[in-house]
Chain A
Amino acid sequence: MSYYCIMMVCGFRCFRNILSALDAANQCFEGGKILDNNREFLMRRLHSLLGIIPIGLFLTQHLIINHFATQGVESFNTASHFMANLPFVIFLEIFVIYLPLMYHAFYGLYIAFTSKNNPGHYSYLRNMLFVAQRYTGVFLVVFIAWHVFETRFQVAIGADEADFNMMANILDNPFMLAFYIVGVLAAVFHFANGIWSFLVTWGITQSEAAQRNATYFTLLVFIVLSIIGMRALFAFV
């Protein structure tokens, strides 16, 4: 008799335990509620978006305007003057260039320094590009800071004027020319490869084939923008 009692108590306890475990499991799955901790997710997505829109678009436009230099001093000065005198130019600069660029740069540095690059043992193409994306990113923070200081900042303090001569003077120095060549190529690479990861990050290219085609496309972007950038640079020399 007592044996049955013990069995019944045990059985009941068991049953109750199972019920509470099920309850816990079901609560886990209530879902639907918005995470309070998805800040990192949103920041990474914003970083990815800003790299293309507006920074990538601005880079493309910048290189194309520069390309006027291949058509002579007058032509470049007219284009540069037009850009410098756009209405609300300071707001355009702040919201289209400075703020997005600074966010992308500083959060990008954080991303770059939290990775542990391993191209030695895992020397696959995508991993090499992953490493290159981080190296060019860090280099570009230095290059762009210097470039802005040397051009836009000098104009802002009234020390110089943004025209053909300004760039011709800068690029007169062979070290500066080399610095600018590396800088433009790094920027174009970072943008082209950034398009590729943008397409993955937003879930646009999914399959291996789609991602491979995106690689070809971004290679084309790299080549075309590099040619435009290099032609513009050498027009000042």
Chain B
Amino acid sequence: MGEAAKTVIFEIERRNSTDEDSYWEKFELPYVMNMNVISALMEIRRNPVNIEGKKTTPVNWDMNCLEEVCGACSMIINGKARQSCTALVDQLEQPIRLQPMKTFPVVRDLVIDRSRMFDSLKKVKAWVPIDGTHDLGDGPRMPERKRQWAYELSKCMTCGVCLEACPNVNDKSDFIGAAPLSQVRLMNAHPTGAMNRDARLNAIMGEGGLASCGNSQNCVESCPKGIPLTTSIAALNRDTTVQMFRNFFGSDRMVD
């Protein structure tokens, strides 16, 4: 001890509501060993005083699991979209700049509304329909090696980082982004899900679908779960090429 107490400086882009202009506010807080961005935000919430010593409103942010599996706490940290729960202060350059992911509507401060992603999942039919009025019995078995491979795709937590990093997801385009596309590949790989693969492929061949991808590959570089998003997109490109010819030449073969 004896040396001056270490502090951490945060610069946060804030706004009171969706339609209001944003402003920057700085905070200086005591350094705590192994602190992360969330624990720093909690400290600001406990003592909402900015760097000028003025009392301010606590910063709003979204969080849930705190272990990078829910995707709720995604934000832009020093320019890159990522989860704030796994953003360790020791590994970040200071001042640490926090911004909301503005590809999505900003609710307040760092809180964003990711509804469009969930709407996209509905649009591309990213589920396996199994319910019936009677017991349909067991589905086809999935090879173990395929299950292990599919597990990687199933790690998607709809966090929105791939949409934020994508240059083609913006207010000028209605591209749905990498995450829902990869889910189509996951659902189509499932032995029961594959029974409706043409419906999903046709869905992503619609407006704002697969074709709007420009191959910048920021999604796969940014994905916190390391999902092979660009491989999924290329694989779907192949599937939709076949589907396109089937549609065009009027094949009555719907599914394999």
Residue ranges of A at the interface with B (Cβ–Cβ < 8 Å): 19, 22, 25-26, 28-35, 37-45, 111, 113-118, 120-122, 124, 126-127, 130-131, 196-197, 200-208, 211
Contact = CB atoms under 8 A, between A and B. Distances in A.
B196 interface: yes
B206 interface: yes
Given A22-B131, A121-B79, A130-B215, A115 B234 contact: no
Contact of B209 (A32, A41, A113): A41
Given A115-B173, A127-B217, A203-B234, 6 more contacts: A29-B199, A31-B196, A34-B247, A43-B211, A126-B216, A127-B216
A28 B205 CA distance: 16
A203 B235 contact: yes
B244 interface: yes
Contacts of B241: 202-203
B66 interface: no
Contact of A25 (B131, B210, B221, B240): B131
Nearest to B246: A34
B125 A29 contact: yes
B228 A118 contact: no
Nearest to B221: A124
A34 B202 contact: yes
Contact size range, B: 35 or more
B120 to A, nearest CB: 15
Given A40-B207, A41-B205, A124-B218, A200 B212 contact: no
B140 interface: no
B211 A41 contact: yes
B80 to A, nearest CB: 6
A41 B215 contact: no
B53 interface: no
A37 B247 CA distance: 13
Contacts of A41: 205-206, 209-211, 240, 244
B137 interface: no
B212 to A, nearest CB: 7
A38 B199 CA distance: 13
A200 B215 contact: yes
Interface of B: 79-80, 125, 129, 131-133, 165, 167-168, 170, 172-173, 196, 198-200, 202-203, 205-212, 214-218, 221-222, 228, 230-231, 233-241, 244, 247, 254
Given A32-B254, A122-B221, A44 B211 contact: yes
Contacts of A31: 196, 198-200, 202, 254
B125 A38 contact: no
A54 to B, nearest CB: 20
Contacts of A114: 168, 170, 172-173
Contact of B165 (A40, A118, A206): A118
A38 B205 contact: yes
A208 B231 contact: yes
Contacts of B233: 200
Contact of B237 (A34, A35, A124, A203): A203
26 contacts: A22-B131, A22-B133, A28-B125, A29-B129, A29-B199, A31-B198, A31-B199, A31-B254, A32-B198, A32-B199, A38-B205, A41-B240, A41-B244, A115-B168, A121-B79, A122-B221, A124-B217, A126-B215, A130-B214, A131-B167, A131-B216, A203-B234, A203-B240, A206-B231, A206-B238, A208-B230
Nearest to A44: B211
A118 B218 contact: yes
A213 to B, nearest CB: 13
Given A28-B125, A41-B211, A203 B239 contact: yes
A211 B206 contact: no
Nearest to A39: B207
A203 B196 contact: no
Nearest to A207: B231
A130 B200 CA distance: 28
Contacts of B198: 31-32
Contacts of A201: 215, 237
Contact of B196 (A29, A111, A117): A29
